[in-house]
Amino acid sequence: MRYLKDAYIRFVLVLTLIILSGMFAVYRHNSKGPQSAESAIRFAGEFVVKKVIDGDTLILSSGDTVRLIGVDTPELHHPEVPVQRFASEAMEFSRKFAEGFVCRVEVEGSDNRDKYGRLLAYIRINGRLLNSELIRLGYGYAYRRFAFEKSEEFARLEAAARKSGYGLWNTSLRDGRIANIIASYESLNLEGKEKFDTELARLLRKYSVEN
Q: Is residue 174 part of a domain?
A: yes
Q: Which residue would you say has higher pLDDT here, 183 or 69?
A: 69
DSSP codes of every residue in 126-176: TTEEHHHHHHHTTSSEE--SS--TTHHHHHHHHHHHHHHT-GGG---TTSH
Q: What pLDDT score was predicted for residue 158?
A: 96
Q: Is residue 210 part of a domain?
A: no
Q: Is residue 77 part of a domain?
A: yes
d(CA 49, CA 61): 6
| Active-site residue identified among 85, 108, 118, 158 | 118
Lowest mean pLDDT across 3-12, 66-75, 124-133, 201-210: 3-12
Q: How many CB atoms lie within 10 A of CB 76?
A: 18
| Active-site residue identified among 67, 85, 124, 136 | 67
Task: Report residue 4's pLDDT band, with 50, 70 and 90 as the boundaries.
Answer: very low
For residue 132, what are the domain limits? 41-181
Q: Is residue 201 part of a domain?
A: no
Q: Is residue 60 part of a domain?
A: yes
Q: What pLDDT score was predicted for residue 10?
A: 55
DSSP state of 4: H
- CA 58 to each of CA 65, 80, 81, 124: distance values in angstroms, whole numbers, following the listed order: 6, 20, 20, 13
pLDDT tens-digit map of 46-85: 999 999 999 999 999 999 999 999 999 998 776 666 657 7
Lowest mean pLDDT across 48-62, 124-138, 195-209: 195-209
Check whether 35 has a pLDDT greater than 60.
no
Residue 67 annotated as catalytic? yes
Q: Is residue 166 part of a domain?
A: yes
Residue 75 annotated as catalytic? yes
Q: Which CATH number is 169's domain given?
A: 2.40.50.90
Domain count, the chain: 1
Q: Is residue 128 part of a domain?
A: yes
Q: Which positions ≥6 away from 87 have C-beta within 8 Å? A: 54, 55, 73, 74, 75, 76
Q: What pLDDT score was predicted for residue 170?
A: 84
Q: Is residue 195 part of a domain?
A: no
